[in-house]
Amino acid sequence: MSKHIKKEDFYNVPNILTYVRILCVPAFIAVFFAVSGEANLNVYIAFSIFLFASATDIVDGYIARRYSLITDLGKMLDPLADKLLQVSAAVCLCVNQFIEHSSIGMLFLFFPIALGAKELFMLIWGVILAKRTIVVHSNIYGKAAAFTNGVGLLMSFFVGAEYDAFRIVATVILSIGTLLAYIALIDYAAKLAKQLNNTLKDKQDLNLKF
């Protein structure tokens, strides 16, 4: 365990809320495909889970800042929970585009592929860095991407097969969010390379606050 992460960090309220958000992911997937698509019931229930999970993100952030409960564990798990939720939603909405389990909640294949590939790359590097006790925090571009994609996905729950103005707006918002996600990736890579080249030879533990 990194010296930056303390045992008590696992049990503070913001991190517990993050665990709840992570648990919402399998619940979301199960509901989306197990509940009947008649009258779009599966989409509405899945949307409620997504909305609840997104609300926990706002609440845990507020509590962490208000009561000085910000931890390195939370800084790693919080964006991970966000990405798991968003990529899962994007995949489910995309699959629904092909199987038409319900008449709304449809998304282009491009978004789950683009977002999933980026997050898989970040996850692999996160594991590698964790083994070297390097703590990587979310940067401003990553936070902006998460927010923008969250808005776009919320809209996508109510997008149908018809390519109307509402679907166009949702697509544009998700496109901006995807672009920001890749800008975040480039920013991470550039700053990480600089940190590793300049300081890793002298320090085992690095706290990369991007």
- What tens digit of pLDDT does each residue of 36-63 get? 999 999 999 999 999 999 999 999 989 9
Beta bridge partners of 135: 207
163: three-class secondary structure by DSSP: coil
How far apart are alpha carbons 176 and 59 in whole angstroms? 25
Look up the pTM and report it.
Answer: 0.85
Domains of the chain: 7-208 (1.20.120)
Neighbours of 68 (CB within 10 A): 6
Taking the CA atoms of residue 138, residue 141, residue 143 and residue 147 in that order, the dihedral angle to the nearest 10 degrees is -160
State the pairing for strand pair 206-208/134-136.
parallel
How far apart are alpha carbons 102 and 112 in whole angstroms? 19
- What tens digit of pLDDT does each residue of 118-157 get? 988 888 877 777 666 665 666 788 889 999 999 999 999 9
Residue 5's pLDDT is 65
